[in-house]
Amino acid sequence: MAKKTVANGDFEDKLKELEGLIEQIESGKEGLNTSVEKYAYAQDLATQLEKILKGVKDSVEASDIEKKEDIEEEE
1 inside domain: no
Query: b/e string for 19-40 if b means 16 or more Cβ within 10 A?
Result: eebeebbeeeeeeeeebeebee
pLDDT of residue 2: 37
51 inside domain: yes
pLDDT of residue 3: 41
**Is the torsion defined by CA of 32, 45, 53, 58 positive or negative?**
positive
Rg over alpha carbons for the chain, rounded to the nearest Å, is 19
Domain count, the chain: 1
pLDDT of residue 50: 96
What is the domain range of residue 40? Answer: 8-74
2 inside domain: no
Binned at pLDDT 50, 70 and 90, residue 66 comes out as confident
- Which residues have a Cβ under 8 Å from the Cβ of 46 and sit 6 or more positions away? 18
3 inside domain: no
The answer to whether the predicted template modeling score (pTM) of the entire model surpasses 0.85 is no
CA 72 to chain centroid, in Å, comes to 33
